[in-house]
Structure 1
Amino acid sequence: MVSVEPIEPEALGELARGVVADHAAAVGRVREAVRPLREDVVAERLGTMAVERLREVTEGRLRVAALEEGGYRTVGSVWAATVGELQLVPGVGRQTAGQALAAARRIGRAVERTVSVWLDVEEPSPATTAVVIALHRLLAAGPGLRRTVEAARGVEERLAELLPAARPARGRLRMLLAGREGRARARAAVAAIEELTADAERRGLTGAFRQAAVDLLRDPATDVEAWVDFELRSADYYSLLAELDGQPPDSDAAQGFVPAEIGDRVRAFELDDSQLRVSLRGYQSFGARFLLAQRRVLLGDEMGLGKTVQAVAALAHLAARGESHFLVVCPASVLINWTREIRARSTLRAVPVHGPERAAEFARWEADGGVAVTTFDALRGTESVVPTAMLVVDEAHYVKNPDALRSRAVGRWAARAGRVAYLTGTPMENRVAEFRSLVRQLQPEVLPRVAGRELVAGSRAFRQAVAPVYLRRNQEDVLAELPALVRVDEWEEFGPQDGAAYREAVESGNFMAMRRAAYASPESMKVRRIRELVAEAADAGTKVVVFSYFRAVLETVGAALGTDRVTGVISGTTSVAGRQQLVDAFTAVRGHAVLLSQIQAGGVGLNLQAASVVILCEPQIKPTMEHQAVARAHRMGQVRSVRVHRLLVADSVDQRMLEVLAGKSALFDAYARRSEVAAATPDAVDVSQGELARRIVEEERLRLSAGALPSG
C-alpha cells in the first residue's frame, strides 16, 4: 500500500485560495454575460413607460414638460441619456437633468428586480450563448462543486488566521522572542493546523480542490456543446442562474405568504445538502426546510414546481444527520418515477416495495434501511409498522376519506413517523372538506382556522391562516426562478392486459403494436397517469395538449378522459382549416381544456401557446418529431413555464428506443437540427424506421425468450 504524504499547510492554503479565486472568476463571467441581456430587457420595459412616471417617483416635484418637448417621451429615453445630453434640452438645467436621470434609474432598478432572463434555445443569440457557455463551465464541474468551494473558503479563512499565529514556532529564536503568551498561541496554532490538514486529508479535500481547479480552468465548451447540455437539463441552468444572478423573486410569494414568525423559523433551519446531487432553487430550499421545521405538513405547490425534489431534499437532510429509515407512499403510476428521482437526485438508496417480491423487499428495507417506495394498496398489506424518520405521501388526496382502508394504513404509519409530508398539486382553497380531513391527520390543532372568514378572504389570506400546516406556491409566485421548459420522463409498468398485448406483439414481430400496447386497456398505467396529469392541470386551470403517433391511442385516452374535458381531436384526416378551427376553439376556452392530436398532424405548423402542459404518449422514432411538437407550445407568446411529460414503460420498446436513439450523437443531432441542411432534410438526423424496428424486435424477442417478462 502506497502511503500518501500529508500536504503542507501552505500548499493546502494555496490550493484552497486557487479554487475560491477560480470559482469567483467563473461566477463573474456568468454575471458579466447576463448583464447586457438584463439591460436590454430593462430598456425595453422602460421604453413602454411614459416620461410622466418620473413625476410620480419624485412626488410631483419634477417638471417633465420640457423633456417631452425635447423628444424624451419615455422613461427609457431618459434612462439611456447622460446629464449632459439632458441639459441640451431647452428649459432643462443641471439640477432638473440630474433629478430626471436619478428618477429614471430608480425606476430602472425597480424594474430590474422583476426581470428574468430567457435563454431561447430556438433562436440562440451571441449574448444568450455567452450565458449558457459561462453556466456550462460551472455545471460541468458537477453537483459537488459548491460544497468544494465552501470547504475551500473555510480552509482559506482558517489558515489565514492560523499561519501567522504559528510563525514563531518555525525557529527556536523566534519562540524565545515571542514571549510566554506568543509561544502559547503558536503551539495552539500549530496543533490547530495539524488537525486542519489531517481533517482535509480524511475528507479528501486535497483531491477535491485539485479536481475543482482542473474543472474550472478547462477550455470553455463550444456553442453546440453548451446548448446541447442546456437542452438536456435546462432546469439546472436556470436554477444556477437564479442563484448567481442575484435577482430573487418576491420572497413573500416564494415563501407562500407565510406569517413572519413561521418564515423566520423555517429560514433559520439549516438544511444539510451533503447527500443531494442537485442544487435547489430558492423556493425549493424553503419548501424542504418547511417540511423539516414544521414536521407534519401539506406541501401543495402547483404542478411543475418540484414537490418531489423538495421531499427528497428533506429525506437527504435527515439521512445526513444519521437517520436510516424513510417511507414514500404514492400511486402505482408514479412509483418508478419516485424510485428514479431518489436515485438521481440524492445518494439515498431507494427500495421499491411493490409487485410479487414486495414482502422480501420490505424485509430487506426493514433490515438495511433506505427509502422504501410503495403504493397505497401495498401499504395496506403490510402487517408490521416500522418507525421511520419521515413519511412522504404523494397525491395526498388519495387519503382524504379517513374511513378508507388506505387512509387508515397511512395513519398507522404516520403515527410512528418522526415527520410527515403530504404532497398534492390540488389547490386546497376550493376543497375545504378535503383540506380539513388532511389537516386533521397532520395538525388537528390548526382545524379551528379552517373555517370562517379566512376561507372567503382570498388565496393569500387562506394560506396565511393555515400556514403552520400548509405551504403552496403558484407559478406566478416564483416565475423568475422557473425555466421556460421542463421535461419529465414518466416511467410506468405494464398491467396484466397491456403486458399480455405486448408479449403478443413481440411474438408476432409487430413493431407498431409493441409501441401502442401500453394502451391496450383503459386502466393501463399510462392511461391512469394521463388522467392524473390532466386532473392536476384542471385544478390549476391550465390547458393540456396530448400527442401520440397513433389514432387508436388517442381514442383510448379520449374515452378515459371523457368528452367534457376534451375540446377536440386533430388527426391525419383533419383538414388544414379544420385543424386551425380546433386550435382556435381550444385557445378560446377560459381556463382548463384538453386537445388531443396525432403528433404528425398537430406537431407541425400550429401555434399552441395556450397549452402549458404537453403529454407525449410514447417516444417517437424521429427525435425531431418530438422536438417540433413541443415547440408548438414552447414558443414566443408563451407566458407560463411549459411542462413536457413523456410517458414510458420500463423494460419495453420505449426503453429500447431511447437506448438506440441515444446511440446517435446528441451533439451531431443538435448541430444538424440547427443547420440549414437539416432544415431541408430532417431525415438526415433520424434513424430509419425499418432499421430501428428490426433491431428492437430482435432484442425484445431475445429478452422475453430468456424469461424476462414485462411487468404486470
Structure 2
Amino acid sequence: MDNINIYKPDFGLLNNNIRTMSTIDRRLCAIEQEDAVARNSINAAAVALKVKLAKGGLASIPVSELANAKAGIRVAVLEKAGFTNLSQLEGRSEAALSMINGIGQAQASAIRQTIDMFARTMAETTSIRIDADSKDAENWNLVFELFKYMKKAPVYKDVAVMNARYHGHIEKALNDIKIRNSLRWLFSTNKTKASTVEGFETLLAVNNDNYPNRATVLINQYETLRLISLADAKREFLNNSAPFYALLDSLNVSSVKLSSVYKDLPSYLAQEIEEQELDTTLLNVSLRQYQTFGAKYALHQENALLGDEMGLGKTIMAIAAMASIAAKVPDAHFLVVCPASVLINWCREVEKHSKLKAHLLHASRGKIDILDWEKDGGVAVTNYESLDELAENISKDTVIEMMVVDEAHYIKNPEAKRTQYLVEVKAKAKRTLLMTGTPLENKVDEMCNLIGILRQDEIIKDVKKYAFMNQSDEFKTVIAPVYLRRVREDVLQELPEMEDKPQWCEMTAEDKAAYVNEVIEGSFMSMRRVSWLQDDIKHSAKAMRLLELCDMVRDDGRKVIVFSYFLDTLNKVCSLLGDRDVFKITGATSIAERQNIVDNFSQSKAGSVLVSQVLAGGTGLNIQAASVVIFCEPQIKPSLETQAISRVYRMGQVRNVLVYHLLCSDSIDEDMVRLLETKQNIFDEFANESEVADMAKNMADKEWINSVIERERQKYLPAVVVNVDQEVET
C-alpha cells in the first residue's frame, strides 16, 4: 500500500471545490424537498376553499339538525332566538354564541364544533370552483399556490434530474475526502490519501461536467420565481384558467368522480383503458383526468368515435394520442381532416400543445404539396374538400399511424363524395378517431353511419339490431367499444353557471310593417329576420334591446359575442354599435384572419363586441374572453346554437356565462323557439346518454315552413286588408 504512487492534491482547489459543491448540493436538495412542501400547500389551500364553499351550503341545513349531533345542544333555544339554519350560526364566534340567551360557554363550544364538523364533511364531496369575481381570500390563495407551483414545476423537474445524476457522487466524494490540508497529508496512511484523491477527482469530474454553472442557473431561476405576486396569479388565471384545473387534477385535488370519466363503459373495459400506456414526453400541456382517459381510449380501441360535448378539449385528446404514438414511432405520419374554417387553428394547436410538426394541406392554395409531410412525418392537416386530391396523390407506401376526423358529422352521409374519399384515405390508416360533439342532428341513423365507417365487424350489426332498445344497459354495453361521450357538467364541475335568458320584445310599428310585407311575400328566410328588416333600425325592438345589453356588458367589465345567421343583420349591428371596439367574422373572412381576429378580441378592453355569422364563428374557435352571447334570431337547429355557445362556455371559462336570445312576440320567432325545443328534447334523450336511436325527421322541411307561413298570414293578412280598405275610403 505504501508503494502506491498517490499524488498530493492542490488543497486550495480541493477546499474550494468542497465549498462550492456542498453549498450547491444542499441548495438543490432543499429545492427538491420544497416540491413536496408546495404540493402540500396546494392541498391545504384546496381544502380551505372546499370548506369555504361547503359552508355556503349550510343555509340548506335547518337548526334542528343540531339535535342529531348528540351534543346536548338546546335547539329550541336557538329557534326561539330566530335562528332557522346553520348558515346563520356559522359566522358567529364562540363568544358571540354564548351571548345568546340560554346558551352558555359549553353549549357555544358544542355548536361551533358541530357546525365545523358538518362543513368538513360536506367539503369532502364539494367540487372546487374558483370564482373569478370572488373576494374571498381562500379563493385566491388557491390560485396563488397553483400559479407558484406551475411556474416552479419545470425547475423542480430539472433539479430532480440534476440531483439524481450528481447528488450521490457528490455525497460520496465529500465523505471520501478525509484530508483537507498539507500537514494532515504528511501523517495520513496511503489508504486515506487514496480515498481523498478519489473524492477530489470525483468533484473535479462533476465540475468539468459544468455542474456548478448549470446548477447556479437553476437556483437563480428558482429565486427569481419567489418574486411572483398574487396580482400575477390573478391575471394569469383570468387569462387562461385551464392549466390551473389541470394541475388540480394531476395532484388528485379535484373532486371529479371516476364514474364521470368512464361514463357508460363496462368496468372491465374501463380498467383495460386505464392500464393503456400514454406517453406524454412530446406534449407541452397538462391533461385533465378525463382527457387522459379519452386519449387512452382512442389508443386502446384504435377505431373509435369520441362524442364528448363541445368545450371539453377533444382536440387536446387527439393530439395527446398522436404524441404518444410519435414518442414510440420515429417520423410517424398523422392526418387530421377538419372543416376549412378550423385548418389554421388545428395547425396552431398541434404545434402549441406538442412537439409535433404540423403540415397544412389545403387545396385552395393550389395543388396540395404532401412531399414534405411524406418525407419528414408529422401531422398533416387538411379539409374535407381536399380529400379527393389527397387520395389521388398520397404514396402507396405512406402509412398513417392515426387519422383524426374532426366534426365527423360532416361525413354522416355515406353517399356523399367526401365520405367516400375519406373512407379511401382511411384504408391507409392504422387507427381512426372520429370526433363530434353532435352525434345526432337531423337523420335517423347518422351515428350508425359513422360507426360503419370505423368498423365493419359484428359491432355495427349489433348497433343496428339493438338500436330500438337504446335505453337499456345492454345497448350501452354493445356500443361501449366504439363510442365514448362525456358532458360538461360531469367532468368540468368547476365551470361557472350558464344562464339562458330569452329576451322577448314587442315589435315596433316599423318592425311590424316590414315583417308583414315579408309575410305577404311568403319569404321564410326574410321572416326570420324580423326586427332587422328595415334599413333604419333605430326603431327596431331587437336593436334597442341589443344596445341595452351591450351597455350592461361594458359596465360589468365583460365582453360579448353577437351571433346571426344573416350577414345583413350583422352589418346593421356593426353600424348600430358605432364607435365601440367591434370585431367581425363572416363567411368571407379567411381562415387565418379569423384566428387573428379572435386573438385581438381576446386582448381588447372590456365592453368589446365580436359580431359573427353563426356558421363562421360558431365552430372551431376558442373565445373564452367573452362571457356574454347574444343571438339576433333563433337558429334552424339546436346544434348551431350549442356549437356557438360552446365557443365561450368551455374549459378555461372563469365567469358565469349569460346567453341572450333576441325574440319578437307574435312572430315567426315563437314557432322557431318551439321547433328548437322539440329538436333539443330529441337530442337530450339520445345523445347525452351515449345512445343511438331514430330521431324525428327534419322538422324544418318544406311542409313545416309552409305551415308556419300560412299561420302568420292568417294572423296578419286580415289586418292588412282592413288597412287597405280604410285607405281606399279616405
Fold shared per TM-score above 0.5: yes
SS at match of 2:52: helix
Q: Distance in 1 between matches of 2:189 and 2:93?
A: 60
Q: Distance in 2 between matches of 1:395 and 1:653?
A: 18
Structure 2 residue corresponding to 1:603, chosen from 550, 557, 561 = 550
Q: 2:403 touches 2:429 (CA, 8 Å); kept in 1?
A: yes
Q: Distance in 2 between matches of 1:17 and 1:607?
A: 51
Structure 1 residue corresponding to 2:490, chosen from 447, 452, 477 = 477
SS at match of 1:291: helix
Deviation at 1:477, TM superposition (A): 0.6
In structure 1, give the amino acid aligned to 2:376: D
Q: 2:307 touches 2:436 (CA, 8 Å); kept in 1?
A: yes
Deviation at 1:41, TM superposition (A): 2.0
Deviation at 1:395, TM superposition (A): 0.9
For residue 216 of structure 1, what is the aligned residue in structure 2? 225
Q: Distance in 1 between matches of 2:328 and 2:214?
A: 21
Deviation at 1:425, TM superposition (A): 0.5
Q: 1:298 touches 1:423 (CA, 8 Å); kept in 2?
A: yes
Structure 1 residue corresponding to 2:325, chosen from 313, 318, 324 = 318
> Is 2:241 the partner of 1:234?
yes
Structure 1 residue corresponding to 2:423, chosen from 393, 405, 411 = 411
Query: What do the CA deviations read for 1:138-168 (whole angstroms, capped 9, x no partner)?
Result: 44x3xxx645534544654687777767777
Structure 2: gaps (5+ residues)? 1-16, 180-187, 504-510, 516-521, 565-569, 609-730
Q: Distance in 1 between matches of 2:127 and 2:315?
A: 27
Question: Residues 66 and 300 of structure 1: is their aligned pair in 2 closer, same or farther, counting only changes over 3 Å?
Answer: same
For residue 85 of structure 2, what is the aligned residue in structure 1? 74
TM-score when scaled to structure 1? 0.60
Identity %: 25
Question: Residues 671 and 569 of structure 1: is their aligned pair in 2 closer, same or farther, counting only changes over 3 Å?
Answer: closer
Q: Distance in 2 between matches of 1:253 and 1:650?
A: 35
Question: Residues 40 and 100 of structure 1: is their aligned pair in 2 closer, same or farther, counting only changes over 3 Å?
Answer: closer
Structure 2 residue corresponding to 1:467, chosen from 462, 480, 505 = 480
Q: Distance in 2 between matches of 1:465 and 1:113?
A: 32
Equivalent residue runs for 1:246-325 within 5 Å: 246-323=253-330, 324-325=332-333
For residue 380 of structure 1, what is the aligned residue in structure 2? 388
Q: Distance in 2 between matches of 1:234 and 1:347?
A: 22
SS at match of 2:438: coil
Question: Residues 654 and 87 of structure 1: is their aligned pair in 2 closer, same or farther, counting only changes over 3 Å?
Answer: closer
Query: 333-342 or 358-367: which moved more?
Result: 358-367
Structure 2 residue corresponding to 1:149, chosen from 125, 140, 156 = 156
Q: Distance in 1 between matches of 2:87 and 2:423?
A: 59
TM-score when scaled to structure 2? 0.59
In structure 1, give the amino acid aligned to 2:551: V
Query: 396-405 or 19-28: which moved more?
Result: 19-28
Q: 1:54 touches 1:104 (CA, 8 Å); kept in 2?
A: no
Q: Distance in 1 between matches of 2:120 and 2:172?
A: 48
Equivalent residue runs for 1:138-537 within 5 Å: 138-139=149-150, 141=151, 146=153, 148-150=155-157, 152-153=159-160, 156=163, 206=215, 209-210=218-219, 212-217=221-226, 219-221=227-229, 223=231, 225-243=232-250, 246-323=253-330, 324-357=332-365, 359=367, 361-382=369-390, 383=392, 384=394, 386-428=398-440, 433-443=445-455, 444-451=457-464, 456=469, 458=471, 463=476, 465-482=478-495
In structure 1, give the amino acid aligned to 2:454: L
Q: Distance in 2 between matches of 1:654 and 1:240?
A: 27
Query: 357-366 or 309-318: which moved more?
Result: 357-366
Q: Distance in 2 between matches of 1:86 and 1:28?
A: 36
Structure 1: gaps (5+ residues)? 178-182, 486-540, 546-550, 583-596, 630-643, 673-712
Structure 1 residue corresponding to 2:125, chosen from 107, 113, 117 = 113
SS at match of 2:299: helix
Question: Residues 670 and 263 of structure 1: is their aligned pair in 2 closer, same or farther, counting only changes over 3 Å?
Answer: same
SS at match of 1:381: helix
Q: 2:532 touches 2:542 (CA, 8 Å); kept in 1?
A: no
Q: 1:399 touches 1:407 (CA, 8 Å); kept in 2?
A: yes
User: Which of structures 1 and 2 has the larger relative contact order (alpha carbons within 8 angstroms, sep 6+)?
Assistant: 2
Query: What do the CA deviations read for 1:635-675 (whole angstroms, capped 9, x no partner)?
Result: xxxxxxxxx9999645669948967996xxx7xx6899xxx
Deviation at 1:17, TM superposition (A): 2.6
For residue 676 of structure 2, what is the aligned residue in structure 1? none
Q: 2:306 touches 2:484 (CA, 8 Å); kept in 1?
A: yes
Deviation at 1:271, TM superposition (A): 2.5
Question: Residues 465 and 109 of structure 1: is their aligned pair in 2 closer, same or farther, counting only changes over 3 Å?
Answer: farther
Query: What do the CA deviations read for 1:380-399 (whole angstroms, capped 9, x no partner)?
Result: 22223531111100011222
In structure 1, give the amino acid aligned to 2:117: R
In structure 1, give the amino acid aligned to 2:85: T
Deviation at 1:446, TM superposition (A): 2.7
Q: 2:537 touches 2:543 (CA, 8 Å); kept in 1?
A: no
Q: 2:66 touches 2:73 (CA, 8 Å); kept in 1?
A: no
Deviation at 1:134, TM superposition (A): 4.2
Q: Distance in 1 between matches of 2:171 and 2:607?
A: 55
SS at match of 2:431: strand
Q: Distance in 1 between matches of 2:314 and 2:484?
A: 11
Query: What do the CA deviations read for 1:609-653 (whole angstroms, capped 9, x no partner)?
Result: 9xx9945689999999569x9xxxxxxxxxxxxxx9999645669
Deviation at 1:87, TM superposition (A): 14
In structure 2, give the amino acid aligned to 1:328: V
In structure 2, give the amino acid aligned to 1:418: K
Query: 147-156 or 393-402: which moved more?
Result: 147-156
Deviation at 1:369, TM superposition (A): 1.4
Q: 1:42 touches 1:115 (CA, 8 Å); kept in 2?
A: no
Deviation at 1:422, TM superposition (A): 0.7
Question: Residues 332 and 208 of structure 1: is their aligned pair in 2 closer, same or farther, counting only changes over 3 Å?
Answer: farther
Q: Distance in 2 between matches of 1:14 and 1:646?
A: 61
Q: Distance in 2 between matches of 1:565 and 1:301?
A: 31
Q: RMSD over aligned Cα, in angstroms?
A: 5.7
> Is 2:55 the partner of 1:43?
yes
